Amino acid sequence: MKKLWLVADMDSTLVERPATGLFPSLRESPCFEPIIKWLEYGGNLMVITTADDRTFYQVWDCIPRTLRRNKQVLLCVSEGAVLLYGNAEGDAVLEPRFRSEGAEGGTLMPEALAEQLCRQLREHVVIPLYQAMQSDRSLMVPLLSGKYQKPIARVLDRLDGGDAIE
């Protein structure tokens, strides 16, 4: 299983992110035991999050040191700006090449490629998704997380009013 990776977002995926502003740990998550078993069987874990320091007490510190060793667990934190991994002792180590080997401006892909990808996502994912939601709001919008229902409904109202999808 050394080549198998579980790649997961942290907030509202691995750990709950309640509106209260409290940040429960991985130990309190229903994902905890399956994640630990995954790592015990030799699987790898990469946690991706916009969060910074709280990632350590919410996730990293919950995983036994022996299961974080030798890059078995990676953290991509600070909105993807920093990559950390467990060294031979299971301590978090900054991957120095992550930022220095990326394209100018700190991205991991050249700007022209990123722009092309954004155009393709817009054309093949975003516009068709909004068109589908616009055609049947009662089916699509209620499936969204509560925090997205009102903003998406406002966008759909604007589209119904004749605004173009740009």
Q: Are 45 and 37 in contact (CB under 8 A)?
A: no
DSSP 3-state assignment of 104? Answer: coil
List Cβ<8 Å contacts ≥24 apart for 119-123: none
Give the chain's largest Cα–Cα span: 59
Residue 106 zone, left/alpha/beta (φ > 0; ψ -120 to 50; rest): left
In angstroms, the CA 89 to CA 83 distance is 17
Alpha carbons within 13 angstroms on the beta-carbon side of residue 118 total 8
What mean pLDDT, rounded, does the chain reach?
Answer: 82
Percent of the chain with pLDDT over 90: 22
pLDDT in tens, 20-74: 667 888 898 888 999 999 999 999 998 888 887 888 888 999 999 999 999 999 9
Does residue 103 have a pLDDT over 50?
no
- So what's the pLDDT on residue 12? 73
Does residue 108 have a pLDDT over 60?
no
Q: Residue 10's pLDDT band (boundaries 50, 70, 90)? A: confident
Does residue 109 have a pLDDT over 80?
no
